[in-house]
Amino acid sequence: MISPIEGLELVRLARIAVEKYLQQSVIIKSERHTLEKAGVFVTLNYVTRNKKEYLRGCIGFPLPEKPLYQEVVEAAIAAATQDPRFPPLDMQELGNIIFEISVLTPPQQITASPAGYGKEIQIGRDGLILHWRFGSGLLLPQVPVELKWNVEEYLANICYKAGAPPDVWLDPTTKLYKFQATVFKEVEPKGEVMQLGI
């Protein structure tokens, strides 16, 4: 879906976009004029001296509205400044931030009954989106791998993410979607970019 060269470009673009925004409050325009569109998430991780990583921001757009490169610019700035879980990033932190880009496939509704979800959802391959009557939530495919969840734990946590009780996925009015992601991440702040094989 996304080549390693494009992945490198997207990660570098995300970092440049955040630097420029923090320095000058400017939202840069991507010089890459592609019409390609895809959902995208930008994850920022703060890395400590002993190489531990902590989430510092993650925002994205599951359904694309703009060309991919511009979506990355806007998602990166939003992850750095608008994630309600964290204060806005400042320039002093930027040297400790690892940038990660997830480019998403279009979501597909899981039409099996809830009893069959275990066969439909593969940990490490599938991200989830859950819509219930009071809201929605999204978890990227790398999350259950990092947190060592099984499918049942994954389903409970997508409910929590949507602000719902942990068993709302069993409600027949709830809709569950899955998607895949190609993920590129800096090895260290401003370092090489690798593709994650989730």
Q: Which CA distances in Å does 115 have to 26, 118, 119, 173?
A: 49, 7, 9, 15
Note the residue count of the chain: 198
Say which amino acid occupies 5.
Answer: I
Angle between helices 4-24 and 68-81 (to 10 degrees): 50
pLDDT, one tens digit per residue, over 150-164 is 999 999 999 999 999
Q: How confident is the model at residue 110 (pLDDT cuts 50, 70, 90)?
A: very high
Q: What is the pLDDT of residues 121-146, one digit of tens each?
A: 999 999 999 999 999 999 999 999 99
Q: Which CATH number fits domain 4-105+181-196: 3.30.700.20, 1.10.287.3510, 3.40.640.10, 2.102.10.10?
A: 3.30.700.20
CB 123 within 8 A of CB 154: yes
Residue given tokens 């060592």 in the structure block:
148
Which DSSP symbol is given to 179?
A: E
Strand partners, 87: none
Residue 62's pLDDT is 93
- How far separated are the first and last CA of the chain, in Å rounded? 15
Q: What is the pLDDT of residues 51-106, one digit of tens each?
A: 899 999 999 999 988 899 999 999 999 999 999 999 999 999 999 999 999 999 99
- pLDDT above 70: residue 119: yes
Residue 127 zone, left/alpha/beta (φ > 0; ψ -120 to 50; rest)? beta
pLDDT at 1 over 90: no
| Domain locations in the chain as residue ranges | 4-105+181-196, 108-179
User: In sequence order, what are the beta bridge partners of 130?
Assistant: 137, 176
Rounded Cα gap, residues 44 and 76, in angstroms:
8
% residues pLDDT > 70 (the chain): 97
pLDDT value of position 32 = 76
pLDDT confidence band for 198 (50 / 70 / 90): low
Report the topology of domain 108-179: Dna Ligase; domain 1 (3.30.1490)
Residue 139: its pLDDT value, please?
97
Instruction: Write down the pTM of the prediction.
Output: 0.91
pLDDT above 80: residue 149: yes
